[in-house]
Amino acid sequence: MSELIVRKSLSEVVAERLQEQIVSGAYKLEQQLPTEPELMKEFGVGRSSIREAIRKLENIGTVRVQQGVGTFVASKNTVAEPLSKRLHTARDKDVEEVRELLELKIVEKAALNRTKKDIANIQSCLEKRNKAADQNNLALWLEEDINFHISIAEACKNPILVELYKTFAEQQLKKSIGDQYAAPISMHRLTLLHKELLESIIEQDTEKAVKISLTMHKKP
């Protein structure tokens, strides 16, 4: 029987090597890791691969990223399964429940903290989403619908919530949304609610934003 060859991405390879260095003692607890340019030179990869590798290690608690300061060793004995991998095997019901909780807090904070730039970004994503629905382009619609919700997450101004939500979007959100919209005609099912959600954020009406988000999660 031939063995299955599993090809790893550059970011996965870098993450594994960095973790090996941390576990071996090359970096001490709370020690700052080299800068991105230094890591790029050490591993011979691009900036995006380094950033993704650091993100993977951050997700499992191995490192801690302080914006504007650097990346520090947070743990040498992390055995927890990365959230991104955990989502692959999680039940859809469980993922949906956590996603709903995240979105309720996100829309509430977005309504409080949004800026004019945030509003313009959310509006642009919504217009692209609706245009894709008009064209019956499911793939593009899925992408823009997710971008719409991510733009709201970014408006909440909580980087942890944003990263958590992006992880859900990248791993499971596209699948869960796609399962609900098998027929092109259904892509406009929640268009009005999306518009109302944007309006509530513009008006900074947190109660209305949360109520609309709850309604959007109700099964048709």
Which backbone phi and psi does 31 adopt, to 5 degrees? -75, 145
What kind and span of H or E run contains 97?
A: helix 92-113
Per the prediction, the chain carries an average pLDDT of 85
Angle at the Cα of 128 from the Cα atoms of 124 and 134, rounded to 5 degrees: 145
Which backbone phi and psi does 62 adopt, to 5 degrees? -75, -40
Which backbone phi and psi does 70 adopt, to 5 degrees? 155, -170
Instruction: For the full predicted model, state whether its pTM sits above 0.75.
Output: no
Task: For residue 33, give the 3-state DSSP assignment.
Answer: coil
Summarize pLDDT for 82-98 with one digit per residue, the tens. 666 666 667 778 877 88
**Residue 53: its pLDDT value, please?**
93
C-alpha to C-alpha distances, 183 to 12, 43, 117, 136, 205, nearest whole angstrom? 36, 46, 34, 9, 33
| 127 and 194 Cβ atoms separated by less than 8 Å | no
| Residue 171 pLDDT level (bands cut at 50, 70, 90) | low
Please report, as a single letter, which amino acid is at residue 163.
E
| 102 and 165 Cβ atoms separated by less than 8 Å | yes
Closest CA relative to residue 200, chosen from 210, 185, 190: 210
Is the per-residue pLDDT at 135 higher than 50? Answer: yes
Instruction: Name the DSSP letter for residue 186.
Output: G
| 95 and 189 Cβ atoms separated by less than 8 Å | no
State the average pLDDT over residues 62-87: 78
Is the per-residue pLDDT at 40 higher than 50? Answer: yes
CA atoms of 55 and 205, how far apart (whole Å): 33
